[in-house]
Structure formats: structure tokens, C-alpha cells
Amino acid sequence: MAKGPLTKVHRLRQTDEVWESSTRRMRTWITPRDQAPYRPYVILTVSQTGQVVGSNIVEDVPPPDRVLNAIARAMRRPILGGGRKRRPTAVYVDDEALVEMLAPKLQEVGVRCEYRHTLREVEKALLSMEQFMTKQEPIPGLLKSPGVTPYLVNGLFEAAAFFYREAPWRWMDDSRPIEVRYPPDGRLRYAVVMGHGGEIYGLAVYNSPDELREVYTGGPPDRLLGLMEWTSLFFGEVMEVPFDDLDDMEKYGWPVAGELAYPIPIRVSRSGKPVRPSKSELLWFEAALLAVPTFVRDLFQAGLEFPQPAEATLTVTMADGEDNVHLRYPVPGFEVPYEEKWASIEGKKAQAEAARERNAELLRTFEQWLTGKGLSKRTVRRHRDNVTFFADAYMAGDGGSVEVPRPADQAAAMDVDEFLSDWFLYEAAWPSVGTVKANIASLKKFYACLKETGHMPAGKADEVLELLRVDRDHYIELAREYEEEAFGE
């Protein structure tokens, strides 16, 4: 006679059907205020027709008696939509050790318990639950791509961890693409290091110079839909990773360099739909992630602050053995203006002088641009004076946020952010809410001018303009706090 949770199960009507039962992490996140996000477990029992007959959510891996109780409860009291109470002929479970413990007890009520490696109805139910909770189509795991194996992905993750620890974005910004040929007899592709601006970190790849030009013209990303597709591996937090990959990471132990360094390879199709890269694309990323940091480090040889033109074939050790990657910088047609001359200048004093010479050219262009907009001479002079202080004192004199003298057209969003949030308040002779507002207005006009006149890549100028738009109130509030602290208001 069955005991415990199965006491009354033997009296239920038995049907000629097979159920599937599995304990899985749920495809959702619980985000308590006072602890780290986590994924609870669910004991899911599904009929052969896809009906979910039992669903029990638990915080930790349940012991066998808890699983048995959940299966028995699904027989006695199926959840809403699970049909009438009944006994199946068999229950398939995807844990061999658990089957050994459950089989004798379920056999007492005439139900076979057997091991199955794959539970298709459970998989379908989990995907359906994820789609219901996230309101979007789930992104499949890397192992769903043809030919992609756990061993291959492990090699990719090791390469990604190396790339993240090397952090090539410390030197290389996304306005400087690198030509990459891999395999050695393969076609040219164009890699862009992401992360210099402090927002998205990783490596993007484009298939042609024309695609790069489309990206560098600026504008919203949806403008590119239908024109091209692109692939990237970016680093994110654990909650950004597709659930299939998270489950496989736990199963196979793929390495990650840190809490913000989960590698997420994604290809954006022409329709805008995110899909997973193919096997050949993942192998390309493994090679590029290993080769690019070394190549970038060599570009900045001899202590120079800007990259030297270079071409090299590097040998990298991938999961399947050694292979060669050919790289070249700059990409023909994407040379950074004045970079070759700039890279040959030694010493910060000489760099500062060269930066001020370049700033003088930019400021003349700015003055002509403002005049062409119909502004008064007084207004033009005010804007020019504000930008001159930023360009000559902060960028050329102090070297901006990275302490490397540069002209104003080489400023990044992080430079402008430090200037307005900190440097100006403590270095300028006249910091106030009013002067901060005036500097924001002048810098907006200046970078709009550089974008319009082609003196700065549109994408880089847009990053600065977006910062000034989004964080304007933040900078004004910092200035107000500075005034209160300085004057005791």
C-alpha cells in the first residue's frame, strides 16, 4: 500500500498517457531589494499533449521527496488548464539519480518512472512561460546553432575573458576600426573595439567598408535596418544573458571574467531581429578576441599616446590549437585626421602645443559657422570664449579625462562629462550655475558645428550631444550644490 503523498493516488483513474517532469531554474529573475537577483527553481510536470499539470516554485534544488510530492499533487489536483485528476501510465524524468529514487515508489501506484535525456514538452512549456513573462520571443542558446558544441563555446568564453581583462578600450576608441582576416584565407572583416566611452564594452564586426561608413554617419540604429546586418560580442550582467546560455554555463562551467563580463554574442539581422551567430562567426570571434588586445597594445608602442600604423600576422592559441590572424590599422579610407602627424609628436608639452594649433583651426571654423547662423558678434565671441577654455585649458592643457593632451575634436563623452561635473567647478575662476548653463549651450553648438562641417565623425559628435542633452540638469544641480557649499547658502 502506497504511503505519504501517494496514499490516495492509486484510486485515481489511470489514463494511457505519458507525463514529463523536471526540476529547472525558472526563465525569469526575482529581484529583491535587499539581495542579489536570483532565479528560483520550478518542478514542472507536463502531459504528452503539452498541458502543464503541475508547477511548483521553490528557491533551492528540491530533495527527491519534494519532487515526488509535486508529481503526486499534479495527479490529485492538476493546475488550472491541466485537465481532470488522473494517473498517467508513466512519468519521464531527466535526472537518472532521481529516477532511481522515484521509480520504486511510483511503481506502487502502477506508474512507471523512466529516464529520458530530453523532455520536449517540458522544454516547450518553459519557453512558453518565458515568452509570457517577458512579452518577447526568447533568444535561443548558443548550443542551438548547428555545429556549435560546449567545447567550442568554452574556447569562446576563455577568449572573451582574456579580452575583458586586457581591456583594449582603454586605448582604442570606436572611431578606429581594425581590419581583420581570419581564417588566413578568409575574407576581410572590420572590428570595432567598444568601451572607450564607458557605456557598452565588447567587440563589433562589420562585413565591408560601406557598412562602416553607414555606421559612422550617425543617426538612429533603426535607420540601418534593412540595409545591413552586424554582429557583436558585448559584455553585460548576468540578467542580460539568454536563459539557455545561463543553464549551459552552469552545466559546463564556461568561464566569466567578472560580474559585468558575461559575454553575449548577438547578430542583428536585416529585419532587426536578434539571432545567434553561426559556428564560423563564433570561431572568428574567438580568434579576434585573442588577437586584437595584443595588436592594440603594440599600436601604442614606445610610450606614444596615439596608435601607429601597423600590419601584423599574430599566432593565437585557440581551443582547437594554434592559428594565425592577420590585422591592419588603419583601415584604408578610415584614417583619423592628423593622427599620423600626432603620433610622432613626443612629450606632453609638444602635444599640448600641437593640440592648441588644431584647436585654433577648429575655433575659426566654429566662429564662421556661428556667424553664418546669424548670431551677433557678441554672442559669437561668448560661445568662442567658452569653448576655448574647454579646448585649450582642459583638453590641451590638462589632457582631458585621460590626461593626454588632445585637440577638442578628439574629445569623448567622458571628457565632456568630467569637464562639466568636476574640472570646471574647481579649476575655473568663475564657476556658477549660470556659467555652467552657458558652457553647456556653447559646447552643444560647438559639437553640432564639428558634426555638420565634417571635422568630427558624426557618431562621436552625437555621443557628446546626447550626453549634454540627457545630463544637462545633472550638471546644473552639481553647480548649484557647489555654490551652496562655497557660499554657505
- 465-474 pLDDT tens trace: 999 999 999 9
Whether 61 contacts 23, CB under 8 Å? yes
Query: Which CATH number fits the domain that encloses residue 18?
Result: 3.30.420.230
Q: Is residue 334 part of a domain?
A: no
CA distance 319 to 158: 9
312 shares a domain with 451 = no
Q: Is residue 336 part of a domain?
A: no
CA distance 416 to 468: 8
34 shares a domain with 100 = yes
74 shares a domain with 119 = yes
Q: Rounded to two decimals, what is the model's pTM? A: 0.67
153 shares a domain with 79 = no
> For residue 110, what is the DSSP state?
T
171 shares a domain with 110 = no
Q: How many domains does the chain have?
A: 3
358 shares a domain with 274 = no
Q: Is residue 337 part of a domain?
A: no
CA distance 322 to 287: 10
Last residue of a domain, one of 134, 150, 167: 134
124 shares a domain with 19 = yes
CA distance 193 to 179: 12
* Domain limits for position 374: 346-487
- 366-376 pLDDT tens trace: 999 999 999 99
pLDDT of residue 146: 95
pLDDT of residue 302: 46
- 36-84 pLDDT tens trace: 899 999 999 999 999 999 999 999 999 999 999 999 999 999 999 999 9
Is residue 451 predicted with pLDDT exceeding 90? yes
Q: Is residue 335 part of a domain?
A: no
461 shares a domain with 380 = yes
Last residue of a domain, one of 296, 329, 362: 329
Q: Is residue 185 part of a domain?
A: yes
Last residue of a domain, one of 303, 329, 355: 329
155 shares a domain with 126 = no
Whether 354 contacts 342, CB under 8 Å? yes
Per the model's pLDDT, the better-predicted residue between 214 and 317 turns out to be 317
3-state secondary structure of 227: coil
120 shares a domain with 181 = no
350 shares a domain with 227 = no
195 shares a domain with 76 = no
- 287-302 pLDDT tens trace: 999 999 999 988 776 4
